[in-house]
């Protein structure tokens, strides 16, 4: 098996590795599932814990801020309901001096006492009259004539009828960040607004309190006013900035503007954080807590890293344990494999010492029994080897001495059958070899005669091929001559047809001349008639001239000349008629001769056409004969090739027959080496 795997190019697998892979996969999968579930639960627990922590810290900051600022709001409300303050504000009218009021001394004393109760946080306490638009403080400050109460940021509390906390601002006198708690003051009888009472409160203590809120290592609390102004931030340069000026995520701004308490993930300055936005319903101030994401999940990261280390160590220990158990389990299997390889190599001298009490021990016992039985079969194998050696030496008649058991009984029977069959086969081969030797000799002689006859036929066929080639060349020459004659007769026929056309045109010209001559005769007759008329007129003129006497002599001379001219014209016309008559006779003779020539040309054209047709048929016959000669030549060449092939085959057959005869002799000698007795 090992050799087969190496030949196939596959690496040998080990049971230990297979066990390790199979069990290791399951263990790793279980570990991963447990790890993922544990991490998920841990993430949920840590997220819940962190969220609760941030929420509680934010609530604590809100409660403390609400308690701090709520207390001062209550004090402002107490100031607003003080009877002396109400009376001063009620009695002070427009353009009145508030300091001249008889109750102003007790009011200022009361305001000073309020400040003295908490000088660390109270800067001043004060009242402002609505009618006189004047403000006076516990420290003795009173506004001047141009001061306008309606332009103060806390003025809306009069219209709203409730206590408010102003946006933070820096006090010019002390330089501290303060807010004002302002409560409206009303006439107890009429309910009309009289003015306000307020306190200027320092935020130093509140900021100090907020600074003690630490969230983890890097988390902190931010405090915003109701208008979004930063009251507290660990960075001093952020104080008094509005939330819109801060690089913070929009979801936080939306939560602040919408007065929603939310747990959010957001960014400050590009750093991701978790935090809680929480509002104080009393003051309207907002507390925003934050904790960096890295610190938010720091415990989770530490836990995951710890679990990863523990899982790696656990997997390593499990792998070592599996490998040890697999090695202990596969040790007897390796020993059995070694024994099996020895048996496969033919070595039966093996010993097994397997003390296992499981299935592997049973397998070892079975292999041991198999080895014992194989040792018993060695005697059979030795005798079979001797018999096979005798077969190799040519001794086919053998006997087996041992009694074979089991499957070896079939081997014994097969060996005896082989001996009997081989003896019979060798006897038949010996007889066949003798017959083959005799037949091969006769075949060699016949093949030699056949080869000689085929050679003679090949020579005769070659002479026939040469003769057919000569005939073919003569036929080709005849074909060329016939083609040339056919072309010449075609040209002659064409020329005679052209002459015939010319003769036809000449006959037509003669006919035209005849018709023209007839017309000329008519014209001459007309001239004769004119001459007769002219002669008659001349005679009449002479008579009239004679009648005229002397006066008509000149006219008589003219008439006489005209008469002579008419006579000469008549003579000329007669002479022309005679000449035309002679010409007509000659034309008639020429026309008759032309008709004869035309008839002869037509007969010549027909004769040449028949000769041309016969020559063309002769050329076609010669062409057909040339093609037939080519086919005859090809057939003779093919016969020549076949004759040559037959001659070569006969020679090859003769050589093969001789070789067969010699091989039959060798075969007979080999068969005689076997001992068939």
pTM, two decimals, is 0.46
In this predicted model, which residue has the larger pLDDT, 256 or 612?
A: 256
Backbone angles phi, psi at 279, to 5 degrees: -105, 150
Q: Which residue did the predictor score with more confidence, 10 or 656?
A: 656
Residue 127 C-alpha from the chain's centroid: 84
Q: Evaluate if residue 504 carries a pLDDT over 90.
A: no
pLDDT of residue 196: 94
pLDDT category at 47 given cuts 50, 70, 90 is confident
| DSSP 3-state of 212 | coil
Task: Give me the pLDDT at residue 4, please.
Answer: 45
Which of 12-21, 33-42, 513-522 tops mean pLDDT? Answer: 33-42
pLDDT in tens, 77-133: 999 999 999 999 999 888 888 888 888 999 999 999 999 998 888 899 999 999 999
Report whether pLDDT(203) > 70.
yes
Give tens-digit pLDDT for 5-33. 444 455 555 666 667 676 777 777 887 88
Determine what percent of the chain is predicted with pLDDT higher than 70: 79
Q: How far is the C-alpha of 323 from the C-alpha of 315, rounded, in Å?
A: 12
For residue 641, the model assigns a pLDDT of 77
Largest CA distance in the chain: 199
Calculate the alpha carbon distances from 199 to 73, 128, 148, 239, 313 in Å: 8, 11, 19, 22, 67
What is the residue-averaged pLDDT of the chain?
Answer: 78
Task: For residues 223-236, give the mean pLDDT.
Answer: 89
Answer whether 220's CB lies under 8 Å from 212's CB: no
What's the token pair of residue 333? 């299997």
H/E element holding 222?
A: strand 220-224
> Can you say whether the dihedral through the CA atoms of 330, 334, 335, 340 is positive or negative?
positive
Counting other chains too, the contacts that 136-139 makes at CB distance below 8 Å and 24 or more residues apart are 136/98, 136/99, 136/104, 136/108, 137/111, 138/108, 138/111, 138/112, 138/114, 139/115
Q: What is the pLDDT of residues 367-414, one digit of tens each?
A: 766 766 666 666 667 777 777 777 677 676 767 766 666 666 777 677
On whether the CB atoms of residues 537 and 621 are closer than 8 A, the answer is: no
Top pLDDT among 356 and 55 is at: 55
pLDDT in tens, 175-201: 888 899 999 999 888 888 999 999 999
**Residue that wins the pLDDT comparison between 147 and 323:** 147
Rounded distance, CA 276 to CA 256, Å? Answer: 11
| pLDDT, position 3 | 45
What pLDDT does residue 391 have? 65
Residues 625-646 have pLDDT tens digits of: 767 777 777 777 777 777 777 7
The secondary element (H helix, E strand) that includes residue 636 is helix 553-671
Q: Kindly report the length of the chain.
A: 677
* pLDDT the model gives residue 181: 92
Residue 354 has pLDDT above 90, yes or no: no
Question: Confidence band (pLDDT; 50, 70, 90) for 514?
Answer: confident
Hey, which of 223-237, 324-338, 493-507, 600-614 has the most confident mean pLDDT? 223-237
């Amino acid at each position: 098996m090992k050799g087969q795997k190496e030949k196939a190019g596959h690496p040998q697998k080990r049971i230990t590795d297979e066990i390790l892979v199979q069990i290791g996969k399951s263990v790793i999968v279980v570990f991963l599932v447990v790890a993922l579930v544990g991490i998920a639960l841990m993430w949920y627990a840590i997220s819940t814990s962190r969220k609760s922590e941030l929420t509680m810290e934010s609530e604590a900051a809100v409660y403390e801020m609400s308690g701090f600022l709520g207390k001062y709001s209550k004090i402002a409300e107490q100031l607003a309901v003080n009877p002396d303050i109400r009376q001063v504000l009620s009695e002070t009218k427009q353009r009145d001096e508030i300091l001249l009021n008889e109750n102003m001394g007790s009011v200022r004393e009361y305001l000073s006492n309020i400040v003295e109760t908490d000088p660390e946080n109270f800067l001043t306490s004060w009242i402002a009259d609505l009618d006189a638009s004047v403000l006076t403080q516990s420290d003795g400050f009173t506004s001047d004539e141009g001061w306008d109460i309606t332009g103060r940021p806390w003025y809306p509390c009069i219209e709203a009828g409730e206590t408010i906390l102003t946006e933070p601002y820096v006090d010019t006198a002390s330089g501290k960040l303060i807010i004002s708690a302002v409560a409206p003051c009303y006439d107890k009888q009429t309910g009309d607004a009289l003015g306000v009472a307020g306190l200027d409160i320092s935020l130093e203590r509140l900021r100090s309190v907020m600074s003690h809120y630490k969230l983890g290592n890097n988390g902190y609390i931010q405090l915003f006013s109701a208008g979004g102004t930063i009251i507290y931030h660990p960075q001093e340069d952020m104080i008094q900035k509005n939330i819109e000026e801060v690089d913070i995520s929009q979801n936080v701004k939306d939560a602040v503007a919408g007065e929603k308490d939310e747990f959010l993930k957001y960014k400050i300055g590009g750093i991701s954080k978790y935090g809680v936005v929480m509002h104080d319903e009393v003051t309207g101030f907002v507390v925003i807590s934050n904790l960096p994401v890295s610190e938010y999940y720091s415990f989770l990261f530490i836990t995951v890293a710890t679990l990863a280390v523990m899982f790696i160590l656990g997997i390593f220990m499990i792998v070592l344990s599996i490998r040890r158990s697999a090695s202990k389990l596969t040790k007897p299997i390796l020993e059995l494999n070694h024994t099996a390889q020895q048996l496969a190599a033919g070595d039966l001298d093996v010993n097994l010492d397997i003390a296992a009490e499981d299935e592997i021990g049973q397998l070892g016992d079975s292999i041991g029994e198999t080895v014992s039985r194989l040792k018993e079969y060695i005697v059979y194998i030795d005798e079979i080897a001797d018999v096979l050696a005798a077969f190799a030496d040519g001794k086919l008649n053998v006997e087996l001495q041992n009694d074979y058991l089991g499957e070896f009984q079939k081997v014994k029977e097969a060996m005896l059958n082989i001996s009997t069959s081989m003896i019979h086969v060798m006897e038949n081969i010996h007889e066949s070899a003798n017959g083959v030797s005799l037949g091969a000799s006769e075949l060699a002689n016949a093949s030699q005669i056949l080869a000689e006859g085929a050679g003679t036929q090949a020579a005769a066929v070659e002479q026939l091929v040469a003769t057919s080639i000569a005939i073919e060349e003569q036929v080709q020459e005849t074909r060329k001559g016939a083609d040339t004659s056919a072309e010449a007769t075609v040209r002659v026929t064409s020329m005679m047809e052209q002459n015939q056309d010319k003769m036809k045109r000449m006959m037509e010209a003669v006919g035209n001349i005849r018709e023209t001559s007839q017309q000329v005769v008519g014209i001459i007759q007309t001239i004769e008639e004119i001459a007769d008329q002219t002669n008659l007129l001349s005679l009449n003129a002479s008579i009239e001239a004679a009648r005229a006497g002397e006066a008509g002599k000149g006219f008589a001379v003219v008439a006489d000349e005209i008469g002579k001219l008419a006579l000469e014209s008549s003579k000329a016309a007669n002479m022309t008629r005679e000449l035309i008559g002679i010409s007509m006779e000659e034309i008639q003779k020429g026309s008759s001769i032309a008709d004869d020539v035309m008839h002869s040309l037509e007969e010549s054209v027909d004769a040449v056409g028949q000769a041309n047709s016969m020559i063309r048929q002769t050329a076609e016959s010669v062409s057909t004969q040339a093609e037939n000669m080519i086919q005859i030549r090809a057939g003779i060449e093919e016969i020549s090739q076949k004759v040559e092939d037959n001659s070569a085959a006969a020679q090859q057959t003769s050589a093969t027959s001789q070789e067969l005869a010699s091989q039959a002799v060798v075969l007979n000698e080999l068969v005689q080496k076997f001992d068939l007795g």
